Chains A and B, each alone.
Chain A
Amino acid sequence: DQQVKQNSPSLSVQEGRISILNCDYTNSMFDYFLWYKKYPAEGPTFLISISSIKDKNEDGRFTVFLNKSAKHLSLHIVPSQPGDSAVYFCAASATDSWGKLQFGAGTQVVVTP
């Protein structure tokens, strides 16, 4: 039962442009959402998170938006840089789940010059 879905397996974007990654979830008990970035042969690296009491969180070039009614979140990267080329995972947890994360399948981002 895939409770976190990333429906776009890949995304190609030009350097300097905006990258928009999308994520949908089905479990209404999720109240904390995170984005991770993963390079080959490395573990996932935490990027940014958002609590369900907010609808936006910003950290430098990264902004996460949460639409609770639609059970949808998105990650915006502006401007995109070649070093952003990686797999991005959306993850979610519920307060009563001891921080256990449920991940989407990931979106491969390629930033072209």
Chain B
Amino acid sequence: DTGVSQNPRHKITKRGQNVTFRCDPISEHNRLYWYRQTLGQGPEFLTYFQNEAQLEKSRLLSDRFSAERPKGSFSTLEIQRTEQGDSAMYLCASSLVSPLTGSEQYFGPGTRLTVT
């Protein structure tokens, strides 16, 4: 397994357009997280899945954002009617939580979104 992958790596879109990002987690991991990072800041939590169930959403995740994880494998993050303030790096992470492991999350390379 090569780790968490994200596609596309870069996306430039015009304001008002919809965009969709994909994350493929490490295959045996049961938790998947989405974060957003802007310049000079650490990643900020957006949402989290345990298998296919979306269990928590940040107040940062407006109604224009939606995330899915069908069948508990890959996940998609869609942003509708993009705004310039949505420009950021969108990071996906996965983890395997069991009584024997810690809670460290492994991140993908991110998708850089630029809204013009």
Contact = CB atoms under 8 A, between A and B. Distances in A.
A46 B104 contact: yes
A43 B106 CA distance: 9
Contact of A103 (B44, B50, B108): B44
Tell me which of A101, A103, A105 has the highest count of chain B C-beta atoms within 10 A of its own C-beta.
A101
A10 B107 CA distance: 23
B41 A100 contact: no
B102 A32 contact: yes
A100 B91 contact: no
A77 to B, nearest CB: 18
B72 interface: no
Q: Which of A91, A99, A102 has most B Cβ within 10 Å? A: A99
Contact of B95 (A99, A102, A106): A99
Given A32-B102, A98-B50, A103 B42 contact: yes
A99 B31 contact: yes
Interface residues of B, number: 28
A100 B48 contact: yes
A83 B35 CA distance: 26
A45 B107 contact: yes
A104 B41 CA distance: 7
Interface string B35-64: 100001111110010100001100000000
B40 A43 contact: no
A34 interface: yes
